[in-house]
Amino acid sequence: MPGKLIGLHEAAALVPDGATLSIGGFTTQRHPMAFVYELVRAKKRGLYLFGHSPGGDWDVLIGAGCVRRVELAYEADEAFNTVGPRWRRAVERGEIEWEDYSNFSMVARFTAGAMGIPFMPVRSLLGSDLVHKEALTPEARAADPRTAAKKTHVMDSPFDPADRVVLVPAIHTEFAVLHVQKATAGGTIRIEGQSYADVQMALCADTVIVTAEEIVEEDDLRRTPELNLLPFFAVKHVCQVPFGAHPYAVYNYYDYDPVQLKEYHESARDDAAYRAYLDHYVFGVRDHEAYLEAVGGAARLDGLRAAPDFGYSPGLKRRL
């Protein structure tokens, strides 16, 4: 089969400095972490990230200095740490540009981009400072076509002037990178469990890169096409990356890794400790296989494997 399969290193090299990018998953689930670590290892700079609820995928990119501007609703590993530690520091130190939205409005923005329309009306946001306040100045927006000209636009319905909505601008990115359970060499993908906003992110991007736990035969996924959420021709590149979301969870494959997350969040409190973390787990390893060995190899990873009846590891010790 004519392949879309490429190596992870080669895939990450496609992303230039200053690129606009969205990353699939949700907080502590299904982020293409191996790809993210490749971006860090390649010392990418000036990235523009668009997301709803990223977690450590963004936090590590921000902490490693790869990011210039973000548009988001949330950045944290939820109950593992209620705010992304490097995101928090970057804002408080004035090292990053950002704009705040809500999850629904960010997803509406991706959806508008995916639908090929310029904006989406939502009934959310009204009365909140997500409408009334802006982190980016109008000058900063005007100076950079990678950011919409305006944050939001409040409008009364042309069909009923008593009915008010907020228009939010469509997102269009150069890249979307997803991590999924199964993919084929032809680009058909299978997401199991919650799909988050991966489909909308992919469909508003020029180039979609998918990393997958398993590469399977095209016929395997075409047997139940109703479960495939993206047309294969929207996917440009596919990488085979087992445990590619570690330390985050992939439904039906493995759970999040509380040991690794604890180490990340503890080291992220301190600049020197954080640099040491990156040196050890990102810069100090050659590739994803070496990363998996560095975190403890099979002894660690086998303990995270999902129980078939649950899709996660029911006995996992989560508070350490």
Residues 84-113 within binding reach of another protein (CB under 8 A): 84, 87-88, 91-92, 94, 100-105, 107-108, 111
- CA-based nearest residue to 9, from 37, 49, 29: 37
DSSP state of 282: I
Nearer to another protein, 11 or 27 (CB): 27
- For another protein (CB under 8 A), the number of binding residues is 71
The verdict on 160 binding another protein (CB under 8 A) reads no
Name the residue among 233, 174, 229, 200 with its Cα closest to residue 115: 200
**CB 178, CB 32: distance < 8 Å:** yes
Report 291-320 residues binding another protein (CB under 8 A).
306, 310-312, 314, 317-319
Pick 38 or 100: Cβ nearer another protein:
100
Contact 238, 212 (CB under 8 A): yes
Instruction: Identify the H or E element spanning 113.
Output: helix 103-115
Residue with smaller CB distance to another protein, 40 or 72: 72
> Which residues, 23 to 82, sit near another protein by CB under 8 A?
25-29, 52-53, 72-80, 82
Report the run of H or E that residue 105 belongs to, with start and end.
helix 103-115
Among 129, 160, 219, 226, indicate the residue that binds another protein (CB under 8 A): 129
Site string for another protein, 133-152 (x = CB under 8 A): xxx-x---------------
Q: How far apart are CA 59 and CA 269, in angstroms?
A: 12
198 binds another protein, rule: CB under 8 A:
yes
Exactly one of 196, 232, 243, 291 binds another protein (CB under 8 A); that residue is 196
Residue 28 neighbours by CB distance under 10 Å? 25
